[in-house]
Amino acid sequence: KQWYQRRVHGYAQVIFNDIEDSYPLDLDLVCRYTLTPGIEPGHGDRVALYRLPYLQPHEYVAYVWTQLQTEQQMEVTFTHSVLPLEEDFYQFQYLKGDSNVAGASVPFQLKGPGTRNQGVCGVREEGDLLVVQTPHTSLQEKAADIESKYTGLLELSEQLTDELNLKNQSFIVLERKHISLLGTVSKCEQMERDLQQLVEEKSQLEQTL
C-alpha cells in the first residue's frame, strides 16, 4: 500500500512524540505532543486524526480540542467511541484555529484486535510530497501503473472520438454546401436554357416581321 501526503510549511511548530507503529481500535488513543517556542496555543486549536491519503485539512475523521495552556508537553485523548471503524493508516495533525497545519505525526496503523500489523517499510520524498511505503507497495505500484495506462488509453479513445465527431460535423457542413451548390448550378443551367429559348423566339419573331 502506498499514499502521498502533502507537506505543509510550519510542521516543526508542533512535534508528536512516541508514535507507535499501530494502535487498537477498541481502546482510547492517547496522543502526546510538544509545543515549540514558535507556536502559541489559541482558541480553535485541535489535534485532528486523518486517514491517509488526505488532500485538505478539513478531511479529518475525528478531532479533539486542545487546552489553552503554555506547557510544552501536552496530550489529548481520542476515546475509542470516536475512532473510525476502518483499519488503515492514519496520522495526527495539529490544526490552528484558522485550519493551518502546525504539526504532523509519522503515519501509524489503527487495527482491530488480533490483526497483523503491516508496518511501514520506509518513507521517501518526491518533490513536495512524502511517500510512505508498506510491504504491499510493489503490488500497489503495479496496479497504479496499469490503472494509469488504462486511463491514458481511455483518454486517447475519448480524444479520437471527439476528433471523429468534429470531422463528421465538418463533412455534414461540406455536404450541405455541395448540395446547395448543385442546386445553384441547376438553376443557372435552367436560366441558360430559358434565355436560349427567348433568343430563338425573338429571332423567329423578327423573321416573321
Average pLDDT (12-40) is 91
pLDDT of residue 94: 94
Rg of the chain on CA atoms, in Å: 37
pLDDT of residue 95: 93
Grid-cell match 502521498, residue found: 4
Which pLDDT tens digit goes with each residue over 66-79? 988 878 899 999 99
Which pLDDT tens digit goes with each residue over 179-199? 888 878 788 888 888 888 888
Which pLDDT tens digit goes with each residue over 122-154? 555 555 445 555 555 555 666 677 778 778 878
pTM: 0.53
Q: In whole angstroms, what is the distance from residue 106 CA to residue 17 CA?
A: 10
Whole-Å CA distances, 10 to 7, 36, 50, 180: 9, 11, 18, 70
Which pLDDT tens digit goes with each residue over 64-117? 999 888 788 999 999 999 999 999 999 999 999 998 999 999 999 999 876 655
